[in-house]
Amino acid sequence: MLINYLDSLLLILNIQEQFIATVTEPRNVIENNKKILNYAEKLNVPIFISEQNPQTLSQTLNEIKEFSPNANIFQSQYFSAWKNHNLKKLIQAKNKKQIILTGLETHICILQTAFDLHNDGYNVFIVSNATSSATITDYNVAIQRFIANNLNVVTTEMLICEWITKPYPNLFENL
């Protein structure tokens, strides 16, 4: 299944100072999220950002917030952002079937959120190079679990190219 920007929304988890400092390839995660946000904003894809305990773990990085002025930002006390009832209600109200997941950490918050969304009937797409974990082993095992459980693993370039293809192939001219 290809990703259709008209039927998708972006959910970014925990790109916060406390987390980004501990993961592998942090700059890559930040830059890929900025690329995704740039296209999401231009295509009017709804953007949601979840912050894990921001009072103690800091807020979303400013350079991510700068690329997402229209994002809805939520706080989470759970590993799965889907357990936040306010976030869940707003996402459900958007009536989108495809959820694009990015952020930190792949083997904890991304994994638990992805499984909860999948169990509720959403088509989940984890952007592999816009997520990370503290160890490459944790990251690799999480990616293997996604694939084994029929969740979609994509890259930033795959996502963007699918967003700008159909149903409007002339989007290249506007971006």
Average pLDDT for 121-140: 98
Residue carrying structure tokens 């990085």: 61
Tell me whether residue 92 is exposed, middle or buried, using C-beta atoms within 10 angstroms of its C-beta: 0 to 12, 13 to 18, 19 or more: exposed
Give the pLDDT score at 57: 84
Range of the domain at 81: 5-174
- Whether the CA torsion 81, 3, 157, 73 is positive or negative: it is negative
Per-residue pLDDT tens over the stretch 12-46: 999 999 999 999 999 999 999 999 999 999 999 99
Per-residue pLDDT tens over the stretch 145-168: 999 999 999 999 999 999 998 655
d(CA 18, CA 8): 29
Per-residue pLDDT tens over the stretch 58-86: 899 999 999 888 899 999 899 999 999 99
pLDDT at 129 over 80: yes
Structural domains of the chain, count? 1
d(CA 146, CA 148): 6
Tell me whether residue 143 is exposed, middle or buried, using C-beta atoms within 10 angstroms of its C-beta: 0 to 12, 13 to 18, 19 or more: buried
d(CA 12, CA 56): 19
Q: What is the CATH number of the domain that holds 36?
A: 3.40.50.850
Average pLDDT for 3-16: 97
